[in-house]
Amino acid sequence: MRTLQRSLSMRNVRLFLIALALHGLSSAIYGLWLNLHLLDLGYPRGLMGALNALPSAIALGIGLPAGWWTDRIGRRPMLILGSLMMAIGTVGVGLGISPVWVGVGVGLIGAGYNLFFIAYAPFLAENASGAERTQLFALASAVLFWAGFVGEGIGSVLPDLFRAFSPLGPTIYAGPILFSALLDFLAALPLLGIREAPRRSQGNPTMGWPKQALWIPALPMAFPNLMLGIGAALSIPFLNVYFHERYRLDDSMLGVLFALTSAFTGLATLLAPRIARWIGRIATVALTQGLSIGFLVGMALTDQAALAALAMVLRGALMNMASPLYTEFCMEQVPAAGRAAVSGILNLTWEAGWMIGAALSGFLQQQYGLASMLLATAVFYGVGTLYQYLAFASRDRVEVAYAQRAVRQQVSC
């Protein structure tokens, strides 16, 4: 029975990683060209910022219900629904019929992304043994970044290809965005093959949740997500605009730069568990994120395109390489039956931060220039990173994080 269950879990993981890779390809292409697509449509920067904030606003409304329903109906249905919603929304954005329809599309993308990634962490936690879980979280993150590397490499040439052979939509970036929608549709196919054990009925799903036993550990863990979400949204969605306008990089060079960032981040992600064995997961998170802030400030202050590009690559790798360790740490602090609910709380605070940061970024760009958004990001990153270390490092002993016996006890809760 144990061998059969392990075989099923390995099959589920393989299918999920295929879907995740397709989403990584899609997200890389979509993220590379979305803001330039919006500017070519003639939208002002304020509206561009609002549209970047809209997915997070939608996620705030559905985050908690999505979490508790995922705990009750299973991870697979939410993963499939999220994939389809992202695909449909991306079609709306690519067609760009009007600001209203673009807004609807962006909202659907936000809702689908929220459903998919609320189910993401509990799914991984439940399909790996304690000894394998850290490696699986790191591998999944690496797959996402490597897919981003490929997607950004492909995306860098797509505008020219669609311009030459078959223009689609109202801008030269519409074709690549619609291609990313196709990848999201394809991502739903491997998810159909995932098999989950039937979930036991837990009565009325709206009664008794969220319980104090989940809120007490979740809220302190969620605060750094709020800070990091604000910081990330202030600048990360607009880095393509930053390099396009400040350093005059063309479309192909932008694609190469973002691809290199994803590639290095994917490699660095696999190193994070090894560092964590020496100093602990939370200490690793604090160390790598803290180092990334220095490169972020350097990227804002330098006038040299080459130095800014190097700083971006190193910043991206350092900032993201240890984030799976924090997610795994959070999942281990709560019972298995409440993991998706807590994942929903964590995602909710991230999305709240993203909504605030994306809306604020448009104002900063208009009033103080592009470099101001990077410096503001550094401040919020610093607050979130310092809090993570002070609040959780003492609770994350290396022997607890990696001893199989301890992990089995946590899983059996």
Residue 321 corresponds to which tokens in the numbers above? 């390489």
Residues in the chain, overall count: 413
Which of the pair, 206 or 350, is modelled with greater confidence? 350
CB atoms within 10 A of CB 38: 25
Write out pLDDT tens, residues 42-72.
998 888 888 888 887 887 777 777 777 777 7
Out of 125-139, 330-344, 389-403, least confident range = 389-403
Query: Does the pLDDT at position 337 exceed 90?
Result: no
**Percent of the chain whose predicted confidence (pLDDT) is above 90:** 37
Query: Does the pLDDT at position 303 exceed 80?
Result: yes
pLDDT at site 310: 95
Peptide bond into 210 cis (omega under 30): yes
pLDDT at site 289: 96
Query: Does the pLDDT at position 260 exceed 50?
Result: yes
Residue 407 corresponds to which tokens in the numbers above? 């992990």
Query: Does the pLDDT at position 184 exceed 60?
Result: yes
Out of 194-208, 251-265, 306-320, least confident range = 194-208
pLDDT at site 283: 94
- The amino acid sitting at 220 is P
Q: With bands split at pLDDT 50, 70 and 90, how would you rate the model's confidence at 336?
A: confident
Write out pLDDT tens, residues 192-240.
999 876 655 444 444 434 555 567 778 899 999 999 999 999 999 889 8
- Tell me the helices (H) and strands (E) count for the chain, helix number first: 17, 0
pLDDT at site 386: 97
The chain-wide mean pLDDT, for the chain, equals 83
Interatomic CA distance for residues 114 and 229, integer angstroms: 14
pLDDT at site 237: 85
Query: Does the pLDDT at position 6 exceed 60?
Result: no
Buried/exposed code over 264-282 (b: 16+ C-beta within 10 A; e: otherwise): bbbebbebbbebbeeebbb
pLDDT at site 44: 87
Residue 8 corresponds to which tokens in the numbers above? 């099923």
Q: With bands split at pLDDT 50, 70 and 90, how would you rate the model's confidence at 93?
A: very high
Q: With bands split at pLDDT 50, 70 and 90, how would you rate the model's confidence at 266?
A: confident
Write out pLDDT tens, residues 97-156.
788 999 999 999 989 988 898 888 888 888 876 667 778 888 888 898 889 889 988 988
3-class SS of residue 144? helix
Query: Does the pLDDT at position 376 exceed 60?
Result: yes
The domains found in the chain, sorted by start residue, are 2-192+212-411 (1.20.1250.20)
Contacts of residue 402, defined as CB under 8 A and 6 or more positions apart, other chains included, come to: 131, 134, 276, 277
Report CA Rg, the chain. Answer: 20
